[in-house]
Structures are given as structure tokens and as C-alpha cells.
Structure 1
């Protein structure tokens, strides 16, 4: 399992999987959880890696999967395809825009946002 960030709606049920391998971004910053390693570029498998994408929170990470259909990014850089365009909980809107640009530079075939349905990014995807 990968914790994109530490809001309860994303971590609440982690204890249901006591034997799961986990990458927890706070371990790199707080050194008190399962692993102590930076997220950016960390390879979970030959086709899955992590990238740092701060903005929603300072510690946000995204999971990048290379699939037969193209690159898929699981991220909280967008709440949903319908918005809001500006993250109402972010204290770093410029950092969020930089993370969105980083993700879009990967030319993803699909984005799986923090809340809501997956979407195909296009020229109307907010930055």
C-alpha cells in the first residue's frame, strides 16, 4: 500500500492490512514508521514508481504505473475531474501547480484523482 498523504480519509483502514508492505511518505520525514526512504523515483516494481507531488499537503506523493494502455497516475494533485480547480485545503498553491505540471509532463493516459472517477487529462485539465 502507498499512503499519498496522511489525511484520515486516506489512511483510516490501514490497520486492516497488518501484513501489507507499505510506503509511507512520513517515514522519510518523521522516521517513525515502516520504512525510511525518499519517495521520488522509488521503484515499487519494474512498472510502478513513486514521485513527490507536494501541494495538497507538503508530503504528497503520487504512484505512477506504466501499463499497456499508457501511463496511469494515482494522485491527490486533483480532487476530481470536476474540481475544485484550486485545492481549498492547500497552503501551497504554486507547489500544487508545479506538481500538476510534473504529472502532466509524464503524458498520462489516465489520472486517478484523490476523490472521484479517473479521467483522461486534456487541454482543459487545471494546472
Structure 2
């Protein structure tokens, strides 16, 4: 039953690009990546998250960075993970600031990252993003 549901969801995801408006490709790729991640196919998840990340989706950048840190579906690559996290911080994605803060060995710099994360969360909560 679970396989049938996943197959139907996958088929629907393949039809969506034809229905999507211009600019929705990143969102569709993000949803595909999350669907494959939830379905246990980390390699396909990483592929689609990479597509979404390359198209400017900070959530995808963050998720892909964590997959790179863990070696989940991709070879471990801390340098690539940091690059994606930095890209996401350029879009003021709070979770990326927080992750960089947790990875930082310098307490002062880590504190700066955490303050930026808090600031970005405040903006998100106020709807200023």
C-alpha cells in the first residue's frame, strides 16, 4: 500500500511541471526532494534538493548542507555543506545561521551567528521576509 501511495505521489509530481507557472521550478524541486527524503531515497532527495538549492531556495540549501554533513545520499563534504549554508545565510535563512553557529569553534563568532539567527527569526515572525 505504501509503495502504491508513493508511486501515485511520484506520478503527480512528474505532471506538475507542465502545470507550474514560470518560477515554480524551485518549489517543485524542493517538494520532490522532500518526498524522496521522506520515502527513504536519500540520493534522489539530494539530487532534487540540489536543483532547488541551485535555483535559490534557502530551505533546500539548508537541507542539502545537512545531507552533505552527514553523508546522507551523498559523500560527506563539510566544505560543500558550509558553502550551501553560507548561500542560505545570504538569503537570511535563520536555520542556516544557527547551523553555522553550532559548527563554529570560535565562541565569539558562534555568538554572532546565533544573534543573526535570532534576528532573522524575528523578521520571519513579523512577516518581513
Q: TM-score range by the shorter chain?
A: 0.3 to 0.5
Structure whose alpha-carbon radius of gyration is higher: 2
| Greater share of residues in helix | 2
| Greater share of residues in strand | 1
Give the TM-score normalised by the residue count of structure 2: 0.33
Give the TM-score normalised by the residue count of structure 1: 0.33
Higher relative contact order (CA 8 A, sep 6+): 1
